């Protein structure tokens, strides 16, 4: 990389890197650095057991330095937190040679560098538990300056807060923003908590294909890719459902999968093109059983994460304590609109939509109309966890018809904070009904519903061998994490949310410039002057260009032989 493309601070750090090497210090050593203690453990344990901390060895990143002549304080950050370290020249350099302190620590190390230290723990006059360093090892040099976030009395100064930079360079976000690292730890603890719960019930964790020739199990637009050897299109899965049910046919009585689904749809604060879901299927159960199971699971997650069932989400305090309210979709609509739509036909539903001022179009069937009414008038009011049950049959092609009403299905969704969190069925296991439902979906797609499902004949064949009555449930892990950590955007709970790629400015290669007579060593200078393409150079004023180049040469002390005005002219006019 040419130095003209670096900022002053980056150049200085690279020079420091060279200086370290000149002193015989490898800035990127290979050896293991044995760590005996972590920052937070020292701070927690020192008062009570001071004797345990007479020799400590820890490693981490320098997050701040306060140098006072021959003594210095620095902040060291490791996986558990920060601790102050105290370095005194004559302690780390007991001999005559004071280079390690005067040159290496004071001049060549920077905020962001990773070091290992050995020393003993003590308490400063200010009362802060610190490590008095007796030896220091450079473990990795940082070549880019880190945003310096400071904090006093709980108030954060100069926070690294621009969402675009935070998401694009999540590593920097994680280094600098402790609460971000904590959110992702919580995400993993949520998943672990669920996994424990399933395993305790002897359900089997499995993996099913992500690349599918028929994307099934949900209504959504898929991503399409292509397999070269098979020379056929493949789809990224939009749901795990159909494969997991095949495993129930195969004789497992409980299977679950944490996995990524992919949907080629809009992106916003609650949608990312790839997202994580957990789906679980348990044989010989129905959706009523699954409601109990789901609330038990969610209550456990909340308890494991917070020690209690209450979580603050925005302005709302949500309580995940069992049991949750249960209400059928039709009752909910009756409650919120006053309309009893049970048994209504399409015309009746459209009339209800008209009076409630809900928009709809001709392609919508009964199910979709009911869903619109529910979505518009009811959904947002369910802040505390609530099971909405018994959805219309048209909306649920993989769900068993309701035991008491063939227009409905044995389905529930768990609503929390006004949004869908989990979705579950008594699974449809009648292959003849299943095929008919798929065909209904095909009709919908012919009507223009581009989210209607494909027909998966192999899945129907599997059902023809017989699937035990089964209940299945799916839950969005990203949304659950948002709720449990009080985040309002999905980007805050995904390490690397989808972003438009960063654009690099196009520029002509060196050879295009040398072709018109520009010496190779001057090409970076020309870039720096703002001429990224030969064509742009051709349109420039040669006198101005000559001045700019000589000026840059001088300013950046490049030590190049300045070109003659005629030479520059010849590049431009050739």
Partner RNA sequence: GACUCAGUAGCUCAGCUGGUAGAGCACGUCCCUUUUAAGGAUGGGGUCCAGGGUUCGAAUCCCUGCUGGGUCACCA
Q: Which is nearer to RNA, 132 or 195 (CB)?
A: 132
Of 28-36, 84-92, 182-190, 249-257: span binding RNA (CB under 7 A): 84-92
Of 147-155, 289-297, 400-408, 542-550: span binding RNA (CB under 7 A): 147-155
Residues 439-468 that bind RNA (CB under 7 A): 451
Q: Residue 327: CB partners within 8 Å, gap ≥ 6? A: 335, 386, 387, 388, 389
Residues 340-369 that bind RNA (CB under 7 A): 359
14 binds RNA (CB under 7 A): no
Q: Are 75 and 86 in contact (CB under 8 A)?
A: no
Q: Indicate which single residue of 35, 50, 111, 210 sits in contact with RNA (rule: CB under 7 A).
A: 111
19 binds RNA (CB under 7 A): no
Query: Widest CA span of the chain, in angstroms?
Result: 95
Q: Indicate which single residue of 151, 196, 292, 296 sits in contact with RNA (rule: CB under 7 A).
A: 151
Q: Which long-range contacts (CB under 8 A, 24 or more apart) does 185-192 make?
A: 186/305, 186/481, 186/484, 186/485, 187/477, 187/481, 187/485, 187/493, 189/304, 189/305, 190/301, 190/304, 190/305, 190/477, 190/480, 190/481, 190/484, 191/258, 191/278, 191/477
What's the min distance (Å) between Cβ of 126 and RNA?
2
Q: Which is nearer to RNA, 304 or 449 (CB)?
A: 449
The two structure tokens encoding residue 250:
């195969």
Q: In what order do the strands lie in the sheet with 419-426?
A: 204-205, 254-262, 274-283, 470-476, 419-426, 411-416, 386-389, 325-328
Buried b (16+ CB within 10 A) or exposed e, 150-172: eeeeeeeeeebeeeeebbbebeb
383 binds RNA (CB under 7 A): no
What's the min distance (Å) between Cβ of 144 and RNA?
7
Residues 155-184 that bind RNA (CB under 7 A): 157-165, 167
Q: Are 238 and 220 in contact (CB under 8 A)?
A: yes
Residues 275-304 that bind RNA (CB under 7 A): none
Tell me the β-bridge partners of 118: 57, 135
Of 177-185, 254-262, 269-277, 302-310: span binding RNA (CB under 7 A): 269-277
Of 139-147, 285-293, 310-318, 337-345: span binding RNA (CB under 7 A): 139-147
Q: Which is nearer to RNA, 6 or 303 (CB)?
A: 6
Q: Are 212 and 453 in contact (CB under 8 A)?
A: no
557 binds RNA (CB under 7 A): no
Q: Indicate which single residue of 54, 79, 150, 554 sits in contact with RNA (rule: CB under 7 A).
A: 150
Q: Which is nearer to RNA, 280 or 305 (CB)?
A: 280
420 binds RNA (CB under 7 A): yes
Q: Indicate which single residue of 19, 40, 64, 572 sits in contact with RNA (rule: CB under 7 A).
A: 64
């Amino acid at each position: 990389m040419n130095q003209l493309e670096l900022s002053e601070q980056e150049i200085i750090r690279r020079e420091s890197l060279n200086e370290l090497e000149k002193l015989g210090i490898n800035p990127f050593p290979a050896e293991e650095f044995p760590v005996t203690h972590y920052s937070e453990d020292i701070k927690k344990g020192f008062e009570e057991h001071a004797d345990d901390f007479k020799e400590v060895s820890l490693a981490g990143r320098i997050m701040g330095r306060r140098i006072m002549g021959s003594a210095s304080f620095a902040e060291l950050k490791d996986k558990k937190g920060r601790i102050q370290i105290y370095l005194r020249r004559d302690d780390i350099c007991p001999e005559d040679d004071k280079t390690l302190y005067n040159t290496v620590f004071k001049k060549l190390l920077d905020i962001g560098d990773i070091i290992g230290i050995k020393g003993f723990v003590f308490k400063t006059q200010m009362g802060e538990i610190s490590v008095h360093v007796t030896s220091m090892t450079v473990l990795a040099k940082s070549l880019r300056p880190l945003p310096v976030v400071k904090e006093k009395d709980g108030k954060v100064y100069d926070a690294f807060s621009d969402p675009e930079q935070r998401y694009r360079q999540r590593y920097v976000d994680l280094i600098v923003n402790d609460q971000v690292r904590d959110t992702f730890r919580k995400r993993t603890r949520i998943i672990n908590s669920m996994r424990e719960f399933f395993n305790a019930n002897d359900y089997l964790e499995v993996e099913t294909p992500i690349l599918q020739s028929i994307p099934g199990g949900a209504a959504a637009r898929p991503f399409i890719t292509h397999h070269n050897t098979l020379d056929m299109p493949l789809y990224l899965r939009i749901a795990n459902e159909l494969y997991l049910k095949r495993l129930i046919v195969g004789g497992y009585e409980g299977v679950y999968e944490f996995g990524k689904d992919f949907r080629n749809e809009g992106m916003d604060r609650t949608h990312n093109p790839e997202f994580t879901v957990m789906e679980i299927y348990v044989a010989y159960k129905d959706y009523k059983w699954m409601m109990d199971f789901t609330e038990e699971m969610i209550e456990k997650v909340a308890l494991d994460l917070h020690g209690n069932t209450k979580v603050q989400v925005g302005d709302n305090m949500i309580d995940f304590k069992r049991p949750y309210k249960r209400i059928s979709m039709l009752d909910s609509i009756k409650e919120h609109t006053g309309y009893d739509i049970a048994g209504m036909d399409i015309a009746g539903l459209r009339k209800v939509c008209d009076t409630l001022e809900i928009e709809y179009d001709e392609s919508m069937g009964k199910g979709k109309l009911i869903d619109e009414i529910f979505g518009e008038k009811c959904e947002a009011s369910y802040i505390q966890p609530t099971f909405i049950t018994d959805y219309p049959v048209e909306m649920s092609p993989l769900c068993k018809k309701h035991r008491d009403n063939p227009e409905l299905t044995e389905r529930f969704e768990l609503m929390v904070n006004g949004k869908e969190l989990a979705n579950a069925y008594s699974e449809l296991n009648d292959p003849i009904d299943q095929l008919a439902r798929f065909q209904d979906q095909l009709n919908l797609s012919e009507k223009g519903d581009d989210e209607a499902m494909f027909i998966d004949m192999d899945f129907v064949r599997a059902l023809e061998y017989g699937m035990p009555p089964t209940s299945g449930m799916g839950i969005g892990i990203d949304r659950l994490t948002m709720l449990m950590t009080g985040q309002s955007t999905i980007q805050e709970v995904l390490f690397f949310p989808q972003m438009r790629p960063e654009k690099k400015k196009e520029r002509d290669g060196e050879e295009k410039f040398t072709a018109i007579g520009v010496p190779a060593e001057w090409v970076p200078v020309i870039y720096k002057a703002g001429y990224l393409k030969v064509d742009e150079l051709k349109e420039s004023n040669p006198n101005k260009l000559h001045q700019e180049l000589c000026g840059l040469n001088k300013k950046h002390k490049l030590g190049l032989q300045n070109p003659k005005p005629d030479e520059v002219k010849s590049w431009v006019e050739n």
